Structure 1
Amino acid sequence: MPLLSWFNRDADLTRAARTPYRLLEPVASLSHGDPDSPNMLIEGDNLDALKALLPYYAGQVKCIFIDPPYNTRSAFEHYDDNLEHSQWLSMMYPRLELLRELLSEDGSIWVTLDDNEAHYFKVISDEIFGRKNLLGNIIWQHSVQGKNDAKKISLHHNHLFLYRKSEAFELKKLPRTNDHNVNYRNQDNDPRGPWRPGDVRSPNFRENLRYNIETPSGKTIEAPAKGWRWSKELFLEKVASREIVFLDDDTRVLRKIYLSDQEGRVAESIWFGNEVGTTREASGELASALPGVEIFATPKPERLIQRVLEAATQFGDLVLDSFLGSGTTSAVAHKMGRRWIGIEMGEHARTHCQPRLVKVVEGEQGGISEAVGWNGGGGFRFYKLGVPVFDENGHIREGIRFEHLAAHVWFAETGTARSTRTKKEAFLGEHGGIGYYLLFNGILGDDSKSGGNLLTRRVLRSLPKFDGPKVIYGEACTLPEEQLRELDITFRQTPYDIKAR
């Protein structure tokens, strides 16, 4: 597969791995609503924030929507969007790697861009997500008003790339409206109701589907070049049920596609502004939600995000936006009953996202609120990035709590996330037939030098039992190697044996 080369590419390939694991520190004064809400609004650089989320959310995010800087060579007030191509690629590549790790196997990522970087993005995303996992490049009509001052072509679209994590992802049908049913009629009073004509030819050549058909009047219709869509037996059944009919004096064949059989509609590759909103509509939504606050230059309308979440998620799924901007993705996810994580750097998390999401929790009626019946509720927790878990020498920083290190050990060993609500005990759990333990910060109630952080015979007897091979992390081990082998125990010393993924 062709690869894209740029300045600093080699360093960028390992940047995600070299990014330190940081703590996420709650800010109670900026949190709002239900104190037990799973929703997270994170302030800080999204590369650091994504790495901080991995031990807790790896493989759990159902849908990612991001609207990264477009690299338009114009200085927006809220973002320095004037980046060279190589700098833009250096920014995006490690973040896409981390986003992929956070996606569930049946998850998807949706990315909006314009022509400045869209095609470069596709090449690096083919590399990271796999070329076969590109499901489409959707064209979104972001404006309808012509630009008479345009020096080239008046542009009215953005790209919306859709990649899946794996074949486990299923694109959901979108709701139908009357506009989608205009071609269905019932001119022959078919008891099954309105229908539209469909093709009877096979889209791919199949020799066993090549057979001649005898019509009710005795005429013969020869097989098309690639054959029919069905076996001869099934074809004749559809003729008998009137699903297949002959026209033009029995010289033409068509099948009926019934409106009653249509459950929703497949998402199409062009999304028009009158259906999903425009940038102007989005600006109006923000002006209403954040009066007096300077809004971003290219916001996304709530209806656009609504369509993405309709196609990619269901109630209760986890949605992530690591370029949250003015908070639209989290606002729409909240109104649609999805869990969400939003990341925004600098003051914008406090000046734009937080106040907007407070209003959503309190039941604001802008955007899609009326369409989805939103009346308020729920809440979110506000977080800022804290110190790295490990210092520059690889040692565990003073003040790191057991649950922080447990999450990192579990993720390093299993590649899966550890719930923040998991019971606090030395036995971390079983994965792949192996039991994992962590002795740290006196988890066994003994802080003495010879106590709970060291693997001794006494400590081993006190550990929760697990029938199978075990991996035990601790500061030191007094058991001889022969006994460890006999007991099928692998001892790893903290912090030296904790490997970052």
Structure 2
Amino acid sequence: MPTLHWIGKDKVINHHQDVPYRILEKQYTYKDGQESDAPSENKIIHGDNLEALKSLLPEYEGKVKCIYIDPPYNTGNEGWVYNDNVNDPKLKKWLGQVVGKESEDLSRHDKWLCMMYPRLKLLHKLLAEDGAIFISIDDNEQANLKLICDEIFGGRNFVTDLVWRHSDNSNNNTLKFSEDYNHTLIYSKKDDWKPNFLNDVDKRKHFKNPDNDPKGPWFDGNPVNNPGLRVNLQYNIETPSGKIIKHPPNGWRWSKETIAEKLSTGELRFSPDEKRLIRRTYLNESEGLPPSNLWIDLEKTSHTRRAKYDLKSIFPEVATTSLFPTPKATKFIENILKIATLQDSIILDSFAGSGTTAHAVLNLNKEDGGNRKFILIEMEDYADTITAERVKRVITGYGEEKKAVEGTGGDFSYYVLGKPVFLDNEMLNEEIGKEKIEEYVWFSETKLPYQAQQENYLLGTKDQTAYYFYYDPNSITTLDESFLRTLKTKASQYIIYADNCLLTKELMQKYNIIFKKIPRDITRF
């Protein structure tokens, strides 16, 4: 498989491992028009998306069913608030820190690749085994993106290049070609991933029921031959009048017994001249139509101009169209969610922009009664004033009189990135507080949400194992027999963190105790 090389690749290929793990600090929860104290399963995070993705690992690694991202296209246009240019000062600073002096020699394509690679590595970790990632891009970086995704997700996990006609009118102000579509590269975690089939009524009008078949609408035309060579299914069939229908070259689709049964039920019948079999396919037995990778029906997937109009409807008081000249259409994301999620799936967008992905999730939940959860990450200052504010207005409703749009209901919690768990010297950062440290250690061991326990130093139990974090920011802790006598929770095994251990190997084996030294043995994400 060909691989892509660029200046700085050696510095960023494993950089995701060096990104500091920062805690998420909840600022507020918004629920049905007002603030609430209870956390929501929906999250909007303000902060650098590389560090924010790292902060999601303990709770969400391998759990995100669908990832949609619309990263910078690297067009060189510096006029947008959503800066679609890798010469952004924040990125230049990061490149200088990670890549070093070589960053001064990077082309804009090198810089873009350095920015994207570690983020895609973390997204791959977050993606569920049965999940898929959808990445929108244009021709500036499409070829480069395909190569690094082949490397990170695996070439065999490439699903398709989804082409979306995002423009509803051709651009006549061009000297070459009007650019009317974007790419959306789709990769799965495993090569056996399949999209949900769609029940597209317009494409299923050929199902009729002229004879009032009790099994419902049907059509003739699906094959009765075997798609692969099956010697044991190569047999001839005798018709009621004694004629012989020779088997297809690869054989029939079913055994003699099955064909006889289908003839008796009417699913199969002989043609009037008894020279062939006709198969009746019923609508209620069809799982649907495989989605096309060409989305050009503007009524079904919408377009950028409609998306700008929707934004203006949500923010009539703000010149939002100047902030987001090419926002993604809500219908476009909704269609992705229909083919890539279930009703309880987690959806992640780490380049959230104006918040279209959350809008689409809320719309779809309202439509089918689902409980899909969204996680949005936005690094720019408008994360609260535009991204989160849009979601608030979608939840409660927006617009006036005839143009009013009913609210979807729902909630979300708004977070910012806090301090790192570990300092540069690898010691624990005591400024974040003991509970946040305990939460991190519990996540690192069990991948479960943390709940404070009444017993001192107990983190919790899982699978007959009790986890203790014997930690005091003001003194050195020692795991010894006197500490063991304070334990109240009975378990088959004990994992105990402390600064030191004075227990003998024999005693630890007797009580199935595993000692882990603070901070050395705490897992780094």
Interval containing the TM-score (normalised by the shorter chain): 0.7 to 0.9
- Cα deviation per residue 1:203-241 (whole Å; 9 max; x = unaligned)? 222222222233334333322232222223212322232
Alignment of 1:434-473 (within 5 A): 434-441=465-472, 449=475, 453-473=477-497
CA distance in 2, matches of 1:103, 1:424: 34
After TM superposition, the structure 1 stretch with the greater mean CA deviation from structure 2, 74-83 or 87-96, is 74-83
- Select which of 409, 412, 417 maps to 2:447: 417
The aligned counterpart of 2:97 is none
The aligned counterpart of 1:428 is 459
- Cα deviation per residue 1:416-471 (whole Å; 9 max; x = unaligned)? 523144647633345676543212248xxxx7x47xx4323222222243433432
The aligned counterpart of 2:37 is 35
CA distance in 2, matches of 1:86, 1:205: 49
The aligned counterpart of 1:341 is 375
CA distance in 2, matches of 1:237, 1:97: 53
Deviation at 1:321, TM superposition (A): 0.9
SS at match of 1:27: strand
CA distance in 2, matches of 1:112, 1:273: 17
Q: 1:127 to 1:217 in 2, by over 3 A?
A: farther
Which residue identity is paired with 1:130?
G
- Select which of 67, 73, 78 maps to 1:75: 78
CA distance in 2, matches of 1:382, 1:19: 22
Q: Normalising to structure 1: TM-score of the pair?
A: 0.87
Q: Are 1:268 and 2:300 an aligned pair?
A: no
Q: Are 1:384 and 2:420 an aligned pair?
A: no
Q: Are 1:403 and 2:435 an aligned pair?
A: yes
- Cα deviation per residue 1:250-271 (whole Å; 9 max; x = unaligned)? 3343312112323544323222
CA contact (8 A) 2:26 2:415 kept: yes
CA contact (8 A) 2:29 2:413 kept: no
CA distance in 1, matches of 2:242, 2:454: 79
CA contact (8 A) 1:76 1:297 kept: no
After TM superposition, the structure 1 stretch with the greater mean CA deviation from structure 2, 185-194 or 34-43, is 185-194
Q: 1:64 to 1:423 in 2, by over 3 A?
A: farther
Deviation at 1:77, TM superposition (A): 0.5
SS at match of 2:148: helix
After TM superposition, the structure 1 stretch with the greater mean CA deviation from structure 2, 202-211 or 90-99, is 202-211
CA distance in 1, matches of 2:454, 2:136: 41
Q: 1:145 to 1:63 in 2, by over 3 A?
A: same
The aligned counterpart of 2:334 is 306
Q: 1:135 to 1:457 in 2, by over 3 A?
A: same
Which residue identity is paired with 2:348?
L
CA distance in 2, matches of 1:8, 1:232: 64
CA distance in 1, matches of 2:486, 2:439: 22
The aligned counterpart of 1:87 is 111
CA distance in 2, matches of 1:355, 1:122: 34
Q: 1:432 to 1:3 in 2, by over 3 A?
A: farther
Which residue identity is paired with 1:25?
E
SS at match of 1:399: helix
Q: 1:40 to 1:236 in 2, by over 3 A?
A: same
CA contact (8 A) 2:313 2:399 kept: no
The aligned counterpart of 2:392 is 358
CA contact (8 A) 2:313 2:398 kept: no
CA distance in 2, matches of 1:398, 1:189: 75
CA contact (8 A) 1:34 1:378 kept: no
Q: 1:45 to 1:485 in 2, by over 3 A?
A: same
The aligned counterpart of 2:96 is none
- Select which of 188, 203, 213 maps to 1:180: 203
Q: Are 1:60 and 2:71 an aligned pair?
A: no
SS at match of 1:77: coil
Q: Are 1:279 and 2:304 an aligned pair?
A: yes
Q: 1:39 to 1:222 in 2, by over 3 A?
A: same
SS at match of 1:161: strand
Q: 1:303 to 1:228 in 2, by over 3 A?
A: same
- Cα deviation per residue 1:272-319 (whole Å; 9 max; x = unaligned)? 322121111111111111222333122111112222222222334322
- Cα deviation per residue 1:122-167 (whole Å; 9 max; x = unaligned)? 3322332333433333222212322233343333222223333347
CA contact (8 A) 2:20 2:51 kept: yes
SS at match of 2:225: coil
After TM superposition, the structure 1 stretch with the greater mean CA deviation from structure 2, 423-432 or 454-463, is 423-432
Q: 1:357 to 1:212 in 2, by over 3 A?
A: same
Which residue identity is paired with 1:121?
L
Q: 1:410 to 1:144 in 2, by over 3 A?
A: same
The aligned counterpart of 1:244 is 268
CA distance in 1, matches of 2:452, 2:234: 60
- Select which of 181, 204, 211 maps to 2:235: 211
Deviation at 1:39, TM superposition (A): 1.8
Structure 1 gap segments, 5+ residues each: none
What percent identity do the matched residue pairs reach? 39
Aligned length: 487
SS at match of 1:361: helix
CA distance in 2, matches of 1:365, 1:201: 56
CA distance in 1, matches of 2:442, 2:154: 27
CA distance in 2, matches of 1:332, 1:374: 14
SS at match of 1:342: strand
The aligned counterpart of 2:93 is none
CA distance in 1, matches of 2:124, 2:453: 28
The aligned counterpart of 2:244 is 220
List structure 1 runs of 4+ shifted beyond 6 angstroms: none
- Cα deviation per residue 1:39-63 (whole Å; 9 max; x = unaligned)? 2111111000011111222233222
Which residue identity is paired with 1:59?
G
CA distance in 1, matches of 2:337, 2:223: 32
- Cα deviation per residue 1:98-136 (whole Å; 9 max; x = unaligned)? 122222333332222223323332332233233343333
The aligned counterpart of 2:360 is 332
CA contact (8 A) 2:301 2:329 kept: yes
The aligned counterpart of 2:145 is 121
Alignment of 1:1-16 (within 5 A): 1-16=1-16
After TM superposition, the structure 1 stretch with the greater mean CA deviation from structure 2, 280-289 or 206-215, is 206-215
The aligned counterpart of 2:98 is none
Q: 1:155 to 1:499 in 2, by over 3 A?
A: same
After TM superposition, the structure 1 stretch with the greater mean CA deviation from structure 2, 18-27 or 398-407, is 398-407
Which residue identity is paired with 2:469?
L
Deviation at 1:183, TM superposition (A): 1.7
CA distance in 2, matches of 1:181, 1:422: 55
Q: 1:120 to 1:404 in 2, by over 3 A?
A: same
Deviation at 1:400, TM superposition (A): 2.5
- Select which of 115, 123, 128 maps to 1:104: 128
Q: Are 1:293 and 2:319 an aligned pair?
A: yes
Which residue identity is paired with 2:37?
P
CA contact (8 A) 1:55 1:407 kept: no
